[in-house]
Amino acid sequence: MSESDRFHPNVPGVAQSDRLVPINLRQSGPTPVQMLISTRVRKSPFWHMSIEAGCWRAEVYNRMYHPRGYVRPEDGGAMAEYDALVNRVTLWNVAVERQIRVRGPDAEAFVNRVITRDASKIAPMHGKYTILCNERGGILNDPVLLRLAEDEFWFSISDSDLGMWLQGLNVGLGHDVEIDEIDVAPVQVQGPLSEDLMVDMFGESIRELRYYELMESELAGCSVLVSQTGFSGEKGYEIYLRDATLNAEAMWYAVLGHGARFGLRVIAPAHHRRIAAGILSWGQDMDAETSPFQVNLAYQVPRKKEADYIGRAALEAQRDRIEAGDYPFDLKLVGVKMGGAPITDYAPDFWLIARPDGRRAGYVTSPWWSPELECNIALGYVPWDMTELGTTCLVELPARYTAQSGQPVAAEVVKVPFRPSAHPSAREQARAAGRNGAE
């Protein structure tokens, strides 16, 4: 029996020898099932208000129901939400960004042990985008790390059980810290009118708040922490509500009330805009078997950090091999522009990327239509020999997006981000300054 006879034809041959659990690349299409709402999955304090605002679909993120659509397809769908984001101002329920607090005399030492960047360089009332890796250099999580005080940090986590990992890790490390999930739930206010709306809620001091800087305040009598951060590439803020179980309604309705005259619209987290900005989504563009060197996060791996951290030996070995021209991974994440009809909704599968001769070689992780570029854009994995800008390839899109069923569309590897962001990432800033990698 030949190898081709042993496998189902829906098992594409894409190299993933560097993974213990390969990405499931079977093309199964949409899954027409109803999501069960039960007590096994948590509802955030804002869940019922998201339903009031028109939420009609959701997924599970951090074991919590996560709104993923408010505008119905017949009314413009996700692209109508995109229009509100890039032209006005929007409110997002992102309570799924669970807050893991590390507090105590050894807080800085513990945090420095688990993140790749230098925690000692984060001043109180400031934050940073960070990653945490396992001992093999795989990315466990990419939270925004908030430092409220010398002895207190909050991990605003992406989709993985980081809190339990941190607690288990400290059983062995024995640092004098408390590690707990706390009753804090964030919302995001994103879009070009976000600053004006935030000033209306919190006063003119908001205009002095710098990117990743924090501010204590109150809204509708509720204690909140405000940061100038977000997941969109647009100007935006996050409002972290303390005692969220008690205060959710008061804060939510206050934001809606202030936002009315700015045309505020409640939308789902804007994956169409974050793709254009080159912002990664954990679990979609990377996971615990992905190295930061595969996903353009080399700037998160400092060469000069004094304190040791988990995964350092593996990451430094990976960097040495890459600099010697010996790539330790099968695939690398790139940006792709591609043809086909506009992709205006979430992809149910990792669509396949092929070489010009039709041989399958990689896969798309995050595709969407860019109204500004007037083409489909995507993040995706290709072999290292296909990563040069201008490299041509093919993408196997579903029939609904192609002129002829079964025919792949032409694509090209391009620079990321696809369009400018209100706040360039550290990677973009380093590129502009002529630096390569982290200091």
Binding-site annotation: residue ranges: 238
Give the Cβ contact number of residue 305 at 10 Å.
Answer: 19
CA–CA separation, 409 and 19 (whole Å): 28
What φ, ψ does residue 426 adopt, rounded to 5°? -60, -35
- For the annotated binding site for substrate, the residues are 238
Q: What does the chain come to in residues? A: 439
Distances (CA, A) of 373 to 34, 110, 168, 369, 409: 35, 44, 46, 8, 17
Beta strands in 83-183, from DSSP E residues, in sequence order: 90-93, 99-103, 126-129, 132-133, 139-141, 144-149, 152-156, 178-181
Which residue matches tokens 């505008």? Answer: 71
Structure tokens at 90: 């929007």
> How far apart (Å, rounded) are the C-alpha atoms in residues 439 and 430?
10
Angle at 293 between CA 289 and CA 295, to 5 degrees: 75
Between CA 283 and CA 161 the distance in angstroms is 12
Give the span between the Cα atoms of 204 and 210, in whole angstroms.
13
Q: What is the C-alpha separation between 101 and 146, in angstroms, rounded?
A: 9
Residue 390, amino acid: G
HSE-CB at 303 with a 13 A cutoff on CA atoms is 7
- Decide if 78 contacts 268 (C-beta within 8 A): yes
